[in-house]
Structures are given as C-alpha cells and as structure tokens.
C-alpha cells in the first residue's frame, strides 16, 4: 500500500498526516482538557441565573460559553473523522484557544473596567474558572495538530 508523501499509515487505518500520531500522552492531554472544559461549563451553568438577573446580555454570553465549552469537550474526545489516531484538528485547537482567551479576557474586563450594566467583584469561583481556562489553553498548546510527538 502506498501513501502520499508526508503521510503514514497505522495498522488497519488509512493515510494520515505524519505529525498527527496520538500517543498515550496526547490522549491524556485531550481527556484532561475535555474534563476541565465540562467542569468549567458546569460552573458557568451554576451562575447563569444570576448573570441573567444582572444584565440580559451577560446571561446570553454565559449561555454561549456553556454551549461552546461543551462543544470543545466533545470535539476533544470524539472519534476522529480521519481515521484512528488523527485526533482533533486545527479548528478544534484554534477555536478552543479563542474561547479560552475570550473567557479569560471577559472575566478581567468585567472586574476592572466593567461593562454596561454589569460589573463584578473578584471571587473564588471566578478565579477558579480562570485558572481552569488557563490550564485548558496550556493543554491545547501542548497538543498542537501536526506537531510531532517526542518519543518516550
């Protein structure tokens, strides 16, 4: 069986990009990031009502955050479209990083300069979610698609 240049085949699968190999370390990164995204979404869901009460648009933004965090979690652990071992693609990686950047920035903006009809104080729940979002971003960066995994 021949493959295109720059691709490899795993036993029982078709061609895939050379750098897309999934070792045990990458699988653990993805599962951890997915679990953190789900937990972050659940925390956002727990405070959704109070954000709707303070400002309608903040409740809507929190609703979007919950949906997108759930989608990220699913995308990180879903069976890959490109066959075994390919894992999430660039869209998942880039979208996840943009989501984390937006959530982190949103927290700090609302706590510093504020937004129309909404300002919040620093609190343990908010800082916990920010810490989770930073960790998710770090895990996503450690699993950049196409980056070769070091052996061992």
Q: What pLDDT digit, counting tens, does each position of 49-63 carry?
A: 999 999 999 999 999
> Model-level pTM?
0.76
Considering 7-16, 29-38, 85-94, the range whose residues carry the highest mean pLDDT is 29-38
* Range in 46-50, 96-100, 141-145 with the lowest mean pLDDT: 141-145
**Quick one: three-class SS letters along the chain?**
CCCCCCEEECCCCCEEEHHHCCCHHHHHHHHHHHHHHHHHHHHHHHCHHHHHHHCHHHHHHHHHHHHHHHHHHHHHHCCCCCCCCCCCCHHHHHHHHHHHHHHHHHHHHHHHCCECCECCCCCHHHHHHHHHHHHHHHHHHHCCCCCCCCCC
Q: What pLDDT digit, counting tens, does each position of 84-134 carry?
A: 555 667 888 899 999 999 999 999 999 999 889 888 889 999 999 999 999
């Amino acid at each position: 069986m021949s493959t295109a240049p720059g691709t490899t085949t795993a036993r029982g699968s078709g061609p895939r990009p050379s750098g897309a190999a999934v070792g045990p370390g990458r699988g653990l990164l993805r599962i951890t990031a997915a679990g953190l995204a789900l937990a972050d979404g659940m925390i956002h869901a727990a405070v959704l009502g109070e954000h709707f009460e303070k400002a309608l648009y903040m409740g809507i933004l929190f609703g979007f955050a919950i949906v997108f965090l759930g989608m990220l979690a699913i995308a990180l652990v879903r069976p890959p479209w490109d066959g075994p071992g390919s894992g999430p693609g660039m869209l998942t990686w880039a979208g996840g990083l943009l989501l984390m950047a937006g959530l982190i920035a949103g927290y700090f903006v609302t706590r510093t300069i504020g937004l129309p009809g909404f300002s919040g104080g620093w609190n343990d729940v908010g800082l916990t979610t920010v810490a989770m979002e930073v960790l998710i971003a770090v895990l996503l960066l450690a699993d950049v698609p196409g980056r070769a995994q070091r052996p061992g």
